[in-house]
Amino acid sequence: EVQLVESGGGLVQAGGSLRLSCVVSGFTFDDYGVGWYRQAPGKARESVSCISRSDGKIHYADSVKGRFTTSSDAAKNTVYLQMNSLKPEDTASYYCAAASTEVAGICLPNYWGSGTQVTVSS
């Protein structure tokens, strides 16, 4: 059974940092890429980053480039999202997802985690 569990969210002041973790089970990184997504209240869910299953390249949304970094640790079955220089507009629920394919650098999810809340105060 494929499972993804996010953690690491919380409340942080603008300019601060957080590191989110996504512990996966039921698959390997050869089977699926992993994407990070976020959804702010009243807005559509958007892609933040995507680790491609096919070549391992990492793609980022323009809004987070230079501030967020995604990495993976296969030994720990964990994908991380390091978020620096956080802004109030980064406030959202953050989700990780397993994706068998991607298009234009955006992972197309097959399975979702339940999310973790990130709140950035001004």
What pLDDT does 34 receive?
97
- 30 φ/ψ angles, rounded to the nearest 5 degrees: -80, -25
What pLDDT does 101 receive?
93
Per the listing, tokens 């997802």 go with 97
pLDDT in tens, 9-35: 999 999 999 999 999 999 999 999 999
Q: Identify the band that residue 36 occupies on the pLDDT scale cut at 50, 70 and 90.
A: very high
Per the listing, tokens 């001004």 go with 122
